Structure 1
């Protein structure tokens, strides 16, 4: 077997590429859920730590693409606008990543999965939960929750999207903001898990190998996203958010 991938068979590598394409497609359409699809798909045939390592570079690269799609100045403005979320989330992610091997992630997944699922289901049935403008305290709480879950599991999308959806963020703005938030979070995740030992020489090659498939999926997904209106985008986002929440509850229940 190729020494670049000592932990996987060729069949497993091919399956992983298919998972990466699907994860990229979902991200291209709604702006998030790449880690969710990656982890959910890859952990069916590989160790969770290897799956977490595999998603790090694709997540970092595709979020950079998403954040910069409307240009660098727009990305900088989004960074300033959500600076509290980013700062608190980054601190929480770095702290929780160091506890990935000692803190039961199932508990955190249940705590996040249940309210996220309820939020998405209520929104889909027509009950509107809205935030009137930025509240820095709410933003800080949302950032802390997203960062803590991200450090433990590599998945920080659901609480982030719930927060942006409650703010009724326009489609292209939401996509860009998510790219900025997840991109900076992915940098922190890479640094944190280089320190934790999850991303190391034997897993780095696998993460690099997932990049082309992830980019292909994102390109297809973004082409679809450009053709749908705000209401369809919102409902698609809420649907994926509901699935994400249910998956977190499943993982919390079954491990």
Structure 2
């Protein structure tokens, strides 16, 4: 009886934490247009391995990114323009799929912390880059491959894909849709990599499905609140929070 009680309590605590984290992650995505996987995996990484966190991310990330992808009318044009980067993302993610599965000493958690630090510093610096059309065909597969390898190691697929897409001088709606396309492909590739490594299980899939509702609810509230608060101030707070989280997760480097 004691064992069953402990088992039930552990599951209730896990579901409560997952619900709260995905509610917050969806809220952030609703306000700033990105950040759901970054926030979710970063916070989940405080009490579970990144590989397990990545498995919980699949359904909410895929659903919210498909929503973002299908909201625009430039899908075919973006697919033709970005296919080299997208192919690189798939290749890099599958090539690095065994990294988290083989991680037994916390390297993936440290890598996740470093990725969050890099992303936060770029965001706080408001760095702006520009990529010419002539360089795009050479850079796209490299950016995609690098993003895929980082995705496989950390379950965070924003570095360097997001700064690169921002450097292509896309229109606002095109950029939002391009981010949705990149994140959707990254999520599918990550799911394939996790399945390849045997990290996808029915229990994880069920919790991931449960996490979809708070993620969508948070995203809806965030979109509603976007017009009522300073987006600049919110973004700064968001990146400061990611920086602190990244420093905490990578703290093993200094121990």
TM-score normalised per structure 2: 0.80
CA distance in 2, matches of 1:171, 1:252: 34
Equivalent position of 2:251 in the other structure: 253
What do residues 90-132 of structure 1 show as CA deviations (whole Å, max 9, x unaligned)? 1001111122233533564577556545533432xxx643333
1:36 aligns with 2:38: yes
Greater C-alpha Rg: 2
1:249–1:149 Cα change, 3 Å: farther
1:47–1:151 Cα change, 3 Å: closer
- Mapping 1:90-239, distance limit 5 Å: 90-102=90-102, 104-105=107-108, 108-109=111-112, 112=115, 116-123=119-126, 128-133=128-133, 135-225=136-226, 227=227
CA distance in 2, matches of 1:140, 1:234: 32
RMSD of Structure 2 on Structure 1 (CA): 3.2
**Does the CA contact (< 8 Å) of 1:116 and 1:242 recur in 2?**
no
Q: CA deviation at 1:173?
A: 1.7
User: Which secondary structure does the structure 1 equivalent of 2:46 belong to?
Assistant: coil
CA distance in 2, matches of 1:70, 1:48: 32
Q: CA deviation at 1:29?
A: 2.6
**Does the CA contact (< 8 Å) of 1:116 and 1:162 recur in 2?**
no
Q: CA deviation at 1:200?
A: 1.1
Structure 1 unaligned spans of 5+: none
Q: Which of 58, 69, 86 is the aligned partner of 2:71? A: 69
CA distance in 2, matches of 1:114, 1:37: 12
1:165–1:21 Cα change, 3 Å: same
Equivalent position of 2:89 in the other structure: 89
TM-score normalised per structure 1: 0.80
User: Which secondary structure does the structure 1 equivalent of 2:21 belong to?
Assistant: helix
1:168–1:252 Cα change, 3 Å: farther
CA distance in 2, matches of 1:111, 1:92: 18
Structure 2 unaligned spans of 5+: none
